[in-house]
């Protein structure tokens, strides 16, 4: 009796400690402005929360949607983003569940033999589950921490992907305006050349040359329209807008202006130990290390302890029998050596992955910063050097045209060169902001477009059948 009381007291004391508080994890992410640059993440469970998100998105669509507004719209509208939230809510709960002991099994039986009636009551539970519970709770806590890191990392990635789509949509909108202006100008040019050919003031080859330029401008405009449509639809999908809502989406006509100075490396650098990828690799190693002892024992045997209390009635005479049962899996055919080799190999692999992640972190950050600085210098060169020089050339060509030194076609050619340079400048500016997003991503250990690894924790219950 005392032994039973001891066991049940032990179970009661240590079994209720592991839990997962999703809202606390979400609040921590919301308070991190490096992750959530605008708005607030809400996992909409009830109708009131869904209505709040809907009203917020409706208000945002009533005005121009900048980069931060686009992020806030996605947080409010995207079903895919909401799916991400509940996916990690589920995986966090599953990780916490592994820190709890399996419920005991109670069986009741009634057996009749002649005048004898036997009532059997049997209570059993996994003894190894009980003895290894403190270790499993530590493993579960690490798994919950790993889930939270992957959760924050994937939210960061989703927001950054949305910002990339917004940049593409705005850049394609801005470039389409230039392509359209060029098309209008060269359409008039081709018509003028056609008329001049009829009056005998232009050769056939010159007239065809102008027509070819117009044809190329037509193709370029068609491609620019398609890029604009594709990038806009991509942004609409990421935000999660309906067909009617997408018609109300208004984005800026131009990208933000070129920054006056590049970001200082000191202002963006973070501790290597704070990076998502380093944290993930470290906890995965610690998790496997914590599970190692339990897995080694399980590879040899399994033990189940049961308590029996039977009541027997025979011709009005009642008797009882009590006792304990112990089930032990005997390692005869499988000694678990291959399972232990697998555990050891996985542990060493996780250790080396962690070491390699730490070693690569600083190098990846330096590379990303150099890409950013190069993109900044190229964009700056376009806007401070190349575009101004083309403006001077066009201004001089206009003077010469007015002075009848050059013809309209020479003037249009110089205008085409300026338009081409402006399109390249927009590309350079988009590349700069993309490089900045990539730099921020590398600084926190989450590369653009990367996918978080799913939290994994060994389920001893599934293996042993308890």
pLDDT at position 459 over 50? no
| 3-class DSSP state of 403 | coil
For 243, what's the count of Cα atoms within 13 Å in the CB-facing half-sphere?
0
* Strands 105-113 vs 303-314: parallel, antiparallel or unpaired: unpaired
Q: Which pLDDT belongs to residue 6?
A: 47
Exposed, middle or buried by CB within 10 Å (0-12, 13-18, 19+), for 394? Answer: middle
Q: Which pLDDT belongs to residue 461?
A: 42
Whether residue 194 contacts residue 213, with contact meaning beta carbons closer than 8 Å, is answered with no
pLDDT at position 452 over 70? no
Q: Which of 74-78, 193-197, 426-430 shows the lowest per-residue confidence on average (mean pLDDT)?
A: 193-197
Q: From edge to edge, which strands make up the β-sheet containing 116-126?
A: 105-113, 116-126, 303-314, 317-328
- Angle value at C-alpha 233, between 229 and 235, nearest 5 degrees: 120
Q: What CATH code is carried by the domain that includes residue 47?
A: 1.20.1600.10
Complete DSSP assignment for 379-397? HHHIIIIIHHHHHHHHHHH
pLDDT at position 464 over 60? no
pLDDT 10s digits, 146-164: 888 999 999 999 999 999 9
Q: Which pLDDT belongs to residue 296?
A: 57
pLDDT 10s digits, 330-363: 666 655 667 767 777 878 888 888 888 888 888 8
With helix as H, strand as E and coil as C, how does 35-85 read?
CCCCCCCCCCCCHHHHHHHHHHHHHHCCCCCCHHHHHHHHHHHCHHHHHHH
Q: Which pLDDT belongs to residue 457?
A: 43
- State the residue range of the domain holding 428: 2-464
* Residue 282, H or E segment: helix 276-300
Tell if the pTM clears 0.95, that is, is over it. no
> In which band, very low, low, confident or very high, does the pLDDT at 298 lie, cut at 50, 70 and 90?
low
Give the residue with greater pLDDT, 374 vs 334.
374
For the chain, what is the domain count?
Answer: 1
User: What gap in Å lies between CA 331 and CA 338, rounded to an integer?
Assistant: 13
Average pLDDT over residues 211-227: 91
| 3-class DSSP state of 454 | coil
User: Which residues in 151-174 are b (16+ Cβ under 10 Å) and which e?
Assistant: bbbbbbbbbbbbbbbbbbbbbbbb
User: What gap in Å lies between CA 428 and CA 381, rounded to an integer?
Assistant: 9
pLDDT at position 118 over 50? yes
Whether residue 250 contacts residue 63, with contact meaning beta carbons closer than 8 Å, is answered with yes
pLDDT 10s digits, 92-111: 888 887 777 777 777 777 77
What's the chain's average pLDDT? 81
Residue 265: other Cβ atoms inside 10 A: 15
User: What gap in Å lies between CA 445 and CA 354, rounded to an integer?
Assistant: 13
Average pLDDT over residues 387-401: 89
pLDDT over 70 percentage in the chain: 79
> In which band, very low, low, confident or very high, does the pLDDT at 375 lie, cut at 50, 70 and 90?
very high
Q: Which pLDDT belongs to residue 353?
A: 85
| 3-class DSSP state of 456 | coil
pLDDT at position 311 over 70? no
pLDDT at position 5 over 80? no
pLDDT at position 465 over 50? no
Widest distance between CA atoms in the chain: 131
pLDDT 10s digits, 198-216: 888 778 888 888 888 889 8
Q: Which of 9-23, 31-45, 414-428 shows the lowest per-residue confidence on average (mean pLDDT)?
A: 9-23
pLDDT at position 17 over 80? no
Q: Which pLDDT belongs to residue 126?
A: 65
pLDDT 10s digits, 241-264: 989 888 889 999 999 999 999 988
Residue whose tokens read 């330096």: 366
- Give me Rg for the CA atoms of the chain: 35
User: Which own/partner pairs from 25-30 qualify as long-range (CB within 8 Å, at least 24 positions apart)?
Assistant: 25/92, 25/148, 25/151, 26/85, 28/148, 28/152, 29/151, 29/152, 29/155
Residue whose tokens read 């066991």: 7
């Amino acid at each position: 009796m005392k032994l039973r009381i001891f066991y049940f007291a032990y179970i009661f004391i240590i079994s209720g400690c592991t839990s997962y508080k999703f809202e606390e994890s979400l609040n921590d992410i919301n308070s991190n402005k490096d992750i959530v640059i605008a708005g607030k993440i809400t996992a909409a469970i009830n109708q009131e929360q869904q209505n709040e998100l809907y009203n917020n998105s409706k208000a945002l669509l009533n005005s121009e949607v900048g980069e931060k507004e686009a992020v806030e719209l996605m947080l409010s509208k995207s079903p895919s983003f909401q799916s991400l939230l509940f996916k990690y809510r589920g995986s966090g709960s599953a990780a916490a569940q592994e820190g709890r002991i399996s419920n005991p099994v109670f069986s009741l039986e009634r057996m009749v033999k002649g005048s004898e009636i036997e009532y059997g009551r049997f209570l059993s539970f996994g003894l190894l589950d009980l003895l290894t519970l403190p270790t499993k709770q530590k493993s579960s806590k690490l798994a919950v921490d790993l889930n939270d890191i992957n959760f924050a990392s994937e939210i960061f990635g989703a927001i950054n992907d949305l910002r990339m789509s917004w940049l593409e949509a705005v850049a394609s909108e801005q470039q389409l305006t230039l392509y359209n202006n060029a098309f209008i100008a060269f359409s008039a040019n081709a018509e003028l050349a056609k008329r001049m050919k009829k009056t005998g003031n232009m050769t056939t080859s010159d007239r065809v040359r102008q027509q070819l330029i117009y044809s190329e401008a037509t193709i370029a405009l068609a491609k620019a329209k398609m890029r604009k449509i594709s990038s806009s639809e991509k942004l609409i999908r990421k935000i999660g807008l309906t067909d009617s809502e997408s018609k109300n989406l208004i984005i800026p006509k131009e990208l933000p202006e070129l920054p006056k100075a590049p970001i200082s490396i000191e202002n963006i650098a973070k501790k290597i130990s704070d990076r998502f990828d380093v944290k993930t690799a470290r906890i995965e190693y610690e998790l496997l290390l914590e599970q190692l002892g339990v897995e080694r024992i399980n590879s040899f045997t399994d033990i189940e302890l049961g308590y029996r209390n039977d009541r027997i009635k025979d011709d009005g005479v009642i008797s009882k029998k009590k006792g304990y049962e112990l089930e032990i899996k005997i390692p005869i055919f499988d000694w678990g050596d291959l399972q232990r080799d697998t555990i050891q190999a996985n542990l060493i692999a996780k250790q080396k992955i962690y070491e390699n992640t730490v070693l690569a972190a600083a190098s990846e950050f330096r590379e990303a910063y150099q890409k950013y600085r190069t993109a900044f210098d190229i964009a700056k060169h376009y806007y401070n050097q190349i575009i101004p020089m083309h403006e001077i050339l066009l201004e001089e060509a206009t003077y010469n045209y007015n002075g009848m030194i050059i013809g309209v076609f020479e003037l249009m050619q110089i205008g085409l060169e300026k338009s081409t340079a402006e399109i390249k400048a927009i590309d350079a500016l988009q590349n700069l902001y993309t490089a900045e997003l990539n730099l921020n991503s590398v600084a926190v250990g989450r590369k653009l477009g990367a996918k978080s690894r799913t939290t994994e924790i060994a389920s001893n219950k599934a293996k042993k059948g308890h």
